[in-house]
Amino acid sequence: MNESGYTPKNLKFGEEGREKLINGIKTISAAVKSTLGPSGQTVLIESPHHTHGITVTKDGVTVAKAVDLIDPIENLAVRMMKEAADRTATSAGDGTTTAIVLTEALVLAGTESIDDHNKTEVLRDLVKETEKVVASLKKRSRKVSKNNLRDVATISANNDRELGKVIADVYKAVGATGIVTVDKSQTSETYYETTMGLKVDRGYTSPMFINDQKKDECILDDVHILVSDAEITNILNIEAILKPVIQENKKLLIIAPCATNVINTLAANVVKGGLKICVIAPPNFGYRQHELMHDIAVSVGATYFSEKTGDDLSIITMDDLGHASKIIAAGDSTVIIKDEVANNAEILEARLNQLKQAYKNAVRKGDKEFILSRIASLSGGVGVIYAGGKTDLEQKELYDRIDDAVCAVRSALEEGIIPGGGLALYEESLRYDRNSKSVADRIMYQALRAPIIQILENAGLKLEDVYNFTSEHYGHGYDVKNNIVGDMYKLGVIDPLKVTKNALQNAVSVAVTILSTNAIITMARTYEDK
């Protein structure tokens, strides 16, 4: 900032600015895409916050997050590429590397083909073609079978078949409605345990509650739980439980509507280090909120304070709180891992029987589905996979792989699977002509081929050397790891539809923004040699 109080800016226009953006894209892409596929390479990252200052990884999003460039315009491109990766990781849990490979391909192809006269029309057509590709992928997808679970997990765990089996076994143990999380083992062994738990479709009310920066989560062990639909308008409303929580260094999860001033006060004290608290909002609304909150209270052994029944929060005591062995609050959901101490088996069983009777009596389809989801939530299990390792570096790398694989399996269960190894997108590219008069078609043709080309390149192969055959069967392709041509479903080379779909959509979103950019404004910087 200068003496006048203004911060000077640098401006770049047109080709000059886009050239720097492209340099930034190429730089981050070169670092990330080398990890793609079964032959993907390991990346070493200088990381002062980890043991020995080193992170060893094949995780695309970890590599992407580590990249920062000196040039401000190039770094803007890096940040936008990170956004594509982050969006994909947040929504689908995997596919970050694919998102970056697609973004680079879209931008490079677009730069070659688009001129200023037809830019708006081409970019609009590109978005439309993306919708067509996604619709085609959905139509061709398959549901996950028990046999497919291991294959999905194996591929996402960098083709570690034993690890894939562990993850598949966990999902089989907790069931379709169950929840799977990852933690660090206290030994060198990797194993899993199952327990009871539930998932609430609400996340932390302030990012200041986050205590795990890598995963953007608030994680609390041995935590007490307040459940209420009555709004906490003043911090004094819960003074009776805050005092013992603070004095005895206890941890607290509040599931209740809270005024902004209450959230800010609690969050500020968390940041200062005095409180170990997280606040999430009640799930849903109306009568459904009341029922869901009652379910949560029963599940964790808490007294449900409801304004509908005239309950007064000022009389709450520690005995009214529920308890859980662990809670994991993310931006959009919270997992509660229950413990035996807090659970009243008789009350829980009575609640389940009540719901089962309500299901029999319900007439409307929507009511039946709502009741079924509540039964699944109350009776569902939680699987915890503990990542081992002989060293901290080994354990961290394994933890990241397991976390990616767990998310991939979850995505596969939600929306189904498609042929892996980049084949699904490659087969979509066959609908396009590289010499088409449509600029959007030419861009899409090149982009959809980029992932499979990169996977093969990492294995020392070329597309034309491998895909020199024709097949009328969807999903018939090349297994890079085993050097086999065949049905990718039978070979176990599969990807979750949700991962591939989100990677493409997020890549197109970022690419369109970059390709439509004409002016770039950055802060003026000075760098001194030290």
Burial (0-12, 13-18, 19+ Cβ within 10 Å), 323? middle
Whether 147 and 135 map to the same domain: the answer is no
Give the per-residue pLDDT at 141.
Answer: 92
Give the per-residue pLDDT at 209.
Answer: 94
Give the per-residue pLDDT at 340.
Answer: 62
**Higher model confidence: residue 438 or residue 522?**
438
Give the per-residue pLDDT at 525.
Answer: 65
Strands 277-280 and 191-200 come out as: unpaired
pLDDT confidence bin for 128, thresholds 50/70/90: very high
Whether 71 and 158 map to the same domain: the answer is no
Whether 125 and 147 map to the same domain: the answer is no
Give the per-residue pLDDT at 528.
Answer: 42
290 C-beta neighbours (distance < 10 Å), count: 18
Number of domains in the chain: 3
The contacts of residue 423 (CB under 8 Å, 6+ apart) are: 452, 475, 477, 478, 488, 493
Whether 273 and 310 map to the same domain: the answer is yes
**Higher model confidence: residue 57 or residue 49?**
57
The contacts of residue 93 (CB under 8 Å, 6+ apart) are: 403, 404, 406, 407, 408, 410, 411, 499
The pair of three-digit structure tokens given for residue 191, joined into one six-digit string: 């194993």
Whether 405 and 453 map to the same domain: the answer is no
Within a domain: residue 352?
Answer: no
Whether 30 and 112 map to the same domain: the answer is yes
**Higher model confidence: residue 471 or residue 457?**
457
Rounded mean pLDDT of the chain? Answer: 85
The pair of three-digit structure tokens given for residue 192, joined into one six-digit string: 């899993």
Burial (0-12, 13-18, 19+ Cβ within 10 Å), 396? buried
Within a domain: residue 348?
Answer: no
Within a domain: residue 503?
Answer: yes
Average pLDDT in the 392-400 region? 84
Residue 101 near residue 44, CB atoms below 8 Å: no
Token pair 């947040």 is found at 90
Give the per-residue pLDDT at 529.
Answer: 42
Within a domain: residue 157?
Answer: yes
Percent of the chain at pLDDT > 70 equals 93
Judged against a pLDDT cut of 70, whether residue 93 lies above it is answered with no
**Higher model confidence: residue 337 or residue 175?**
337
Token pair 């808490």 is found at 302
Whether 291 and 312 map to the same domain: the answer is yes
The pair of three-digit structure tokens given for residue 113, joined into one six-digit string: 């083909």
Q: How far apart are CA 86 and CA 506, in angstroms?
A: 9
Whether 428 and 408 map to the same domain: the answer is no
Q: How far apart are CA 87 and CA 359, in angstroms?
A: 37
The pair of three-digit structure tokens given for residue 479, joined into one six-digit string: 């297994």
Phi-psi region of 45 (alpha: psi -120 to 50; beta: other; left: phi over 0): beta
| Lowest model confidence (mean pLDDT) among 1-10, 252-261, 312-321 | 1-10
Nearest of 419, 421, 417, 423 to residue 481 by alpha carbon: 421
Within a domain: residue 327?
Answer: yes
Q: Sign of torsion, CA 193 197 200 203?
A: negative
Nearest of 98, 77, 86, 83 to residue 26 by alpha carbon: 77
**Higher model confidence: residue 99 or residue 468?**
99
Residue 218 near residue 238, CB atoms below 8 Å: no
Judged against a pLDDT cut of 80, whether residue 366 lies above it is answered with no
Give the per-residue pLDDT at 234.
Answer: 92
Average pLDDT in the 308-318 region? 83
DSSP E strand boundaries for 346-473: 381-387, 417-419
Q: How far apart are CA 59 and CA 464, in angstroms?
A: 28
Whether 210 and 338 map to the same domain: the answer is yes
Q: How far apart are CA 322 and CA 62, in angstroms?
A: 36
Judged against a pLDDT cut of 90, whether residue 278 lies above it is answered with yes
pLDDT confidence bin for 286, thresholds 50/70/90: low
Q: Which residues pair with 478 in a beta bridge?
A: 485
Q: How far apart are CA 152 and CA 159, in angstroms?
A: 9
Give the per-residue pLDDT at 89.
Answer: 73
Over the range 173-204, which residues count as b (16 or more CB within 10 Å of their CB) and which as e? ebeebbbbbbbebeeeebebebebbbbbebbb
Q: Which domain holds residue 288?
A: 191-343
Judged against a pLDDT cut of 60, whether residue 218 lies above it is answered with yes
The CA–CA distances, whole Å, from 500 to 137, 233, 263, 473 equal 9, 44, 37, 20
Average pLDDT in the 52-74 region? 82
Amino acid at residue number 169? D
The helix or strand, by DSSP H or E, that contains position 477, with its residue range, turns out to be strand 476-479
pLDDT confidence bin for 530, thresholds 50/70/90: very low
- CATH code: domain of residue 296: 3.50.7.10
Whether 244 and 314 map to the same domain: the answer is yes
Within a domain: residue 381?
Answer: no
Give the per-residue pLDDT at 108.
Answer: 92
Average pLDDT in the 297-320 region? 86
Helices (H), 119-274: 119-140, 146-156, 161-174, 239-247, 260-271
Residue 485 near residue 479, CB atoms below 8 Å: yes
The pair of three-digit structure tokens given for residue 217, joined into one six-digit string: 């989560």
Within a domain: residue 383?
Answer: no
Q: How far apart are CA 38 and CA 469, in angstroms?
A: 22
Give the per-residue pLDDT at 284.
Answer: 75
The pair of three-digit structure tokens given for residue 419, joined into one six-digit string: 């042929």
Whether 365 and 471 map to the same domain: the answer is no
**Higher model confidence: residue 13 or residue 100?**
100
Give the per-residue pLDDT at 405.
Answer: 85
Judged against a pLDDT cut of 60, whether residue 470 lies above it is answered with no
- CATH code: domain of residue 122: 1.10.560.10
pLDDT confidence bin for 116, thresholds 50/70/90: low
Average pLDDT in the 201-230 region? 91
- CATH code: domain of residue 408: 3.30.260.10
Average pLDDT in the 234-255 region? 92
Judged against a pLDDT cut of 60, whether residue 319 lies above it is answered with yes
Within a domain: residue 4?
Answer: no
Whether 279 and 326 map to the same domain: the answer is yes
The contacts of residue 46 (CB under 8 Å, 6+ apart) are: 53, 54
